[in-house]
Structure 1
Amino acid sequence: MQPSKIAFFPEAAYGPALNSIGIAQAVAQLGHKVVFLSDPGFVALYQEYGFEAHPVNLSAPMAAEEMAKFWESFINGHIPNFSKSPFDQIDNYVKDCWAAIVDSAKFAQEDLPRVLDKIRPDLICVDNVILFPAIKQYGTPWVRIISCSENEIEDPAIPPHLSGCAMQDSAAHARFRARFNEVIRPLHDDFNAFLASAGEAPYPLGQFFETSPYLNLLLYPEPVKFKRAHPLLSPQFEYLEGCVRQEKPYVVPHFSAHNEAPLIYVSFGSLGAGDVALLKRLIAALATMPYRVLVNVGAYKDQYTELPPNVIVDSWFPQPSVIPLVDLVIHHGGNNSFTECLFFGKPAIIMPFVWDGHDNATRVEETGHGFKLNRHDWTETALISQMEMCLYSPVIQTKLAATSRHMQAQNGPAKAARLLDELLSKEYICYV
């Protein structure tokens, strides 16, 4: 079979971007040409990994530095809302986020046809939460990647996306869905008007995307999957059991205190690092404990001038190379961090702030792979208790070891590359 050109179009966030890079690395190993369609602020990221990248305008024109900082500024402006429950975030963070996402789809529709005609892909993989009509209409198969929580594809029997609800709390499910639909209705009406202008049928209230009729790839692994009323069945839906990218090796530095103690990794992602007050509070608490600690502080390293001897901070860590070396991860619930911990068999304490972090925090505790901890209403006593359980509970360690064996046997990036290769090598089958 002749090599094909496969385009990846991830959301303008590091989680989806790095997940797509992991799949793209495996696709390139099969000999296919990989190109990225990218928010202009992320072009350099894909180029750093050796991939060709083409900017697509997802907003009004702005300076490159301003564009790169857009989501960082957006998140930092909502830090006061991070202490609220998922339900109470609907009419502030969630509404504002969906407004920005809808705007991005409108801007993309003006630019995508030109970019697609320029690169002429044979297959397009989209990792986003909203439909870009130009991709659906281009004339080649398109694949949807769900790198967020699995409940991004809704089902009446599971918690609604972004809700952080427990699996069995159906009353909370209904309450969240009703409030979400109430708040989001004006935005949704506007989006449906946009779809009509692009020649697409309207979506039901609350829905901004659809599943691909060709192939949908989900990162969630079997041990944490939801029990759906309507299971997502192969071959239209395939679970990748995680999708860990290849990164440069990492050598653990020397600590001037507790250098032989268990190693903890703390990361709230590049955007969550803006909550400097929380990270400093965590560092102060961890300074009193007999552990070594690595902390990802993102672009705010200059704000950490005095550090305890058992703590080392940096602006960035090659996370898939770091997590195998640590004993426990404290993170924000982003799906890459969530699945990488499971892949390497590491317990997690999730302190979510927004989006699917709430869902993943609930799920890690429901399935016995770690704990959820409210990022503002926590005590050192609760933190110590959860850390000791994660590090020393044989039940948690046994479950994590089994989950890790299962996921590593699947090799998510290679599985995704094989499925994409098979889709290209046969006549395209549309399942709906």
Structure 2
Amino acid sequence: MAGKRVAFFPEAAFGPALNSVGIAQAVERRGHEAVFLSDPGFVEVYEGYGFAAHPVNLSEPMPAEEMAKFWEEFINGQIPNFRKSPYEQLGNYVRDCWEAIVESAKWAEKDLPHILDELRPDVVCVDNVVLFPAVKRYAQSNGKAWVRIISCSENEIPDPQIPPHLSGCGERDTVCHERFRKRFLQAIEPIHADFNEFLKSCGEEPYPPGEFFETSPHLNLLLYPEPVKFDRAEPLDPERFQYLEGCVREDEPYTLPTFREKNDAPLLYVSYGSLGAGDTELLKRVIAAVAQMPVRALVNVGDYASEYDEPPPNVHLAGWYPQPSVIPQVDAVIHHGGNNTFTECLYFGKPAIVMPYVWDGHDNATRIEETGHGFKLDRYRWTEEDLRERIDRCLTDGKMRERLAATSRRMQARHGPTRAAELIEGLLP
């Protein structure tokens, strides 16, 4: 097959962005061209991996400095909500996010139609939680396929038997399920009504209450690994839905630093993602606790390095780590439950302590403990002894280690990016 063009349109967040990078790398290895449709703030991310990226405004355009200030203020304003339960976040963080997400779909409709007409991709892969009508319209009018990538928790595709997306409910806690679903529909009702008006203006049918996206009639790729997937009342059709067993990208090699103390001690990796790095109070507390333990730690502080003093001798700070190169070298991970870190830990067989704060981190934290691959720990209500005890169990629990090793073997044998590229190639004209 002659080389074709595959366009990727991920959400403007590092999780979806880097998952799509992994698939795009595999697509190019098969002789096709991968290009990115990108929020302007992420263009350099894709270019850094060697891909062409075409900016699509997802909000009102503004200078880079103003955009950085906007997001800094957004993060700082939301930090108090990080202390709340998933249910309590519905009226603030979740509502605010859905307002912004719907606005992003409206803004994309201004740029996306002519960009797609100029690029003429043979298939478009969207990793987001909202429909961009221009993608669906382009595919239908040109006889092309479009692909939905679900890089968040599997329950982004709902089912009456599994926990609602973002809820953090246990798999069998049906009381929690129903309570959360009811409150979610109440919280986003006006936003959903506005979204349906937008769909109508684009010639689309309205969506049912609470839904902002649809599954692709062609192909849907779930990054969730099968060993942690949910038991659905309505199983997904394998002809249209494929579990990729993660989607770990190739990144630059990483050489471990020399620590001033405890160089032979077990090694931890601590990261709360680009958003969670703004919670410097929590990270300082974790660093202080780890400083007293017989371990070493690599700690991702994001863009907030200036907020920290000289770290303890067994702690190394950096604003960025190439995670796929770091996680294989550590003994355990403390993270926020983002789906990239969640699946990378499973892929490399590393136990994790998940301290969630927003979005599907709540779901992943519950799921990792339910399936015996790690622990869920409240982000703020913990003691140094709580953390020490869970770190010790991560390092010594033989049954957990065996389970993780089996999950890792399964995931690495299937190699999600390669499988995704094969499936996408099957849709090419």
For the superposition of Structure 1 and Structure 2, which TM-score range results when normalised by the shorter chain?
over 0.9
Shift, 1:75, TM fit: 2.6
Residues 128-183 of structure 1: CA distance to partner in whole angstroms, max 9, x if unpaired?
00000000000321000000000000000000000000001001100000000011
Distance 1:203 1:284 in 2: 48
Give matches, 1:379-418, under 5 Å. Answer: 379-418=383-422
Shift, 1:304, TM fit: 1.3
Distance 1:66 1:208 in 2: 29
Q: Aligned partner of 2:311: which letter?
A: L
Distance 1:277 1:22 in 2: 33
Shift, 1:71, TM fit: 4.1
DSSP 3-state at the match of 2:105: helix
Give matches, 1:350-369, under 5 Å. Answer: 350-369=354-373
DSSP 3-state at the match of 1:321: helix
Partner of 2:165: 161
Partner of 2:231: 227
Partner of 2:100: 100
Distance 1:200 1:73 in 2: 35
Distance 1:75 1:215 in 2: 34
Distance 2:69 2:265 in 1: 37
Residues 199-233 of structure 1: CA distance to partner in whole angstroms, max 9, x if unpaired?
00000100000000000000011110000001112
* Correspondent of 2:296 among 281, 292, 304: 292
Partner of 2:23: 23
Residues 75-110 of structure 1: CA distance to partner in whole angstroms, max 9, x if unpaired?
332000001000000000000000000000001011
Distance 1:183 1:318 in 2: 37
Partner of 1:149: 153
Partner of 1:125: 125
Q: Would you say 1:245 and 2:268 are equivalent positions?
A: no
Partner of 1:329: 333
DSSP 3-state at the match of 1:138: helix
Shift, 1:261, TM fit: 0.4
Q: Aligned partner of 1:416: which letter?
A: A
Partner of 1:423: 427
Q: TM-score, normalised by structure 1?
A: 0.97
Contact 1:72-1:271 within 8 A present in 2 as well: no
Distance 1:66 1:98 in 2: 22
Q: Would you say 1:195 and 2:203 are equivalent positions?
A: no
DSSP 3-state at the match of 1:368: coil
Shift, 1:74, TM fit: 2.2
DSSP 3-state at the match of 1:423: coil
Contact 1:37-1:54 within 8 A present in 2 as well: yes
DSSP 3-state at the match of 2:426: helix
Partner of 2:186: 182
In the TM superposition, structure 1's runs of 4+ consecutive aligned residues that sit over 2 Å from their partners are: 64-76
Partner of 1:312: 316
Structure 2 regions of 5+ residues with no counterpart?
none
Q: Aligned partner of 1:146: which letter?
A: I
Q: Aligned partner of 2:409: which letter?
A: R
Partner of 2:348: 344
Q: Would you say 1:277 and 2:258 are equivalent positions?
A: no
Distance 1:125 1:76 in 2: 32
DSSP 3-state at the match of 1:358: helix
Partner of 1:62: 62
Contact 1:41-1:68 within 8 A present in 2 as well: no
Q: Aligned partner of 1:405: which letter?
A: R
Check 1:311–1:363 CA distance in 2 against 1; reply closer, same or farther (3 A cut): same
DSSP 3-state at the match of 1:164: coil
Residues 363-413 of structure 1: CA distance to partner in whole angstroms, max 9, x if unpaired?
000000000001111111111111111110001101000000010000100
Structure 1 regions of 5+ residues with no counterpart?
426-432
Partner of 1:428: none
DSSP 3-state at the match of 1:354: coil
Distance 2:232 2:42 in 1: 35
Q: Aligned partner of 1:192: which letter?
A: N
Q: Would you say 1:260 and 2:237 are equivalent positions?
A: no
Distance 2:154 2:390 in 1: 25
Distance 1:66 1:270 in 2: 18
Distance 1:42 1:69 in 2: 16
Q: Aligned partner of 2:233: which letter?
A: A
Contact 1:298-1:316 within 8 A present in 2 as well: yes
DSSP 3-state at the match of 1:299: coil
Shift, 1:302, TM fit: 1.3
DSSP 3-state at the match of 1:298: coil
Say how many residue pairs are matched: 425
Partner of 1:429: none
Please report the RMSD computed on the Cα atoms of aligned residues, expressed in angstroms.
Answer: 0.9
* Correspondent of 2:305 among 301, 325, 332: 301
Q: Aligned partner of 1:118: which letter?
A: E
